[in-house]
Amino acid sequence: MKSRTDHQGLSALFPNELSDLISQEPLFRGRQLFTWLAGGTFKFEEMKNLPTALRRTLIDRYGETACTSKVVKQQTDTDGTVKLLLKLYDGLFVESVLLTDEEGRRTACLSSQVGCAMGCTFCRTAELGLERNLTASEIVEQFYHLTEIAGQPSHIVFMGMGEPLANIYETARSIEIFHFSEGLNISARRITLSTCGIPEGIRFLAESFSVPIRLAVSLTSADNDLRTSLMPINRKAPLPELHESLLYYQNIRKKRITLEYVLLDGVNDSETACRQLVQFAKGLECVVNVIPWNPGAGLPYNEPTRDSTERFCSCLEHAGLRVTRRYRRGRGISGACGQLAGSGTSPHHIQPVMQTNE
């Protein structure tokens, strides 16, 4: 197998950057290479309008394919959810998910890190700790792997493994590639970044990022002490600071924010918790997305009942908030919100088989 000289990959490079890599060639060759990659063709030998000598040069430099990751396991749930386990160039693993809603809309749920350092106590990914950030190419490749197996998604959410704002520059680069008009050309309104709440990252999106994507914040509790116990990031960025950064973002971007609220039975589903959430939402143009907790092996929580979920949502609606309810998809293959665990990220945990839950 050919050794790679650049683990950053090629799929997150723009045409001019690809031209720079093959500077001995005419400039239009970089655009041709970009077009092949943007169309999902990664094997250099299949890029027929590139000269044979250039294809051989690329193969010698990068191997048979420009793709730095590969699918080692695919699972399909009865609701149409597809989960992929990807092996990265260094032997680590990451998961990504394709969700299909009742209208047939396909959404790619992408990871931004191998593992996660945020330590949210209700999320299985947190048990892994953080191995490393993903490169922009590794993020983009998840989209192409999902496309090849299940058809091209129309929407993207950064809600997989990891905290996107803790890997902000690689995440931002991948979004720019997705949005690039000469490539996939995915509308900014169809891309959502979900964060546990890192104020400096939120300010970066407000001030410095050119693509006006949607922002979602995992809140889970509007009680400062309870949120700290559930989401340790709250020690560094307590609720008042988070609220201030969201107001700042909204004042600049003029876009509605989603407050994601993972509902835990007997923990954050009371009438008092509802009132605290209503208070936090004051001044924000927002929608609250209520997410009934999805079980994770060994985690010390219980699912909320249907009745308690409806009571909590009704409480919010009576207070004048707009509320959506997250439908539970992918649970049969541990592909739902908070269930991604990357098979421990260790190659010793992997059995490269295809599994279908049908």
Of 222, 40, 317, the residue nearest 325 (C-alpha): 317
Of 186, 162, 160, the residue nearest 330 (C-alpha): 160
Query: Can you list the alpha helix ranges (DSSP code H) found in 63-198?
Result: 136-150, 168-179
Query: Can you list the alpha helix ranges (DSSP code H) found in 208-285?
Result: 224-230, 233-236, 239-253, 271-281
Is 313 an annotated catalytic residue?
A: no
Of 193, 203, 197, 146, the residue nearest 170 (C-alpha): 193
Q: Sort 328 into a burial class: Cβ within 10 Å, 0-12 / 13-18 / 19+.
A: middle
Pairwise CA distance, residues 87 & 71, whole Å: 6
Is 170 an annotated catalytic residue?
A: no
Catalytic residue among 25, 67, 95, 196: 95
Q: How far is CA 163 from the centre of its chain?
A: 8
Pairwise CA distance, residues 158 & 192, whole Å: 6
Catalytic residue among 196, 313, 315, 337: 337
Pairwise CA distance, residues 107 & 124, whole Å: 21
The order of strands in the sheet holding 286-292 is 322-325, 286-292, 257-263, 214-218, 191-195, 155-158, 106-109, 93-100, 82-87, 70-76, 354-356
Catalytic sites, residue numbers: 95, 337
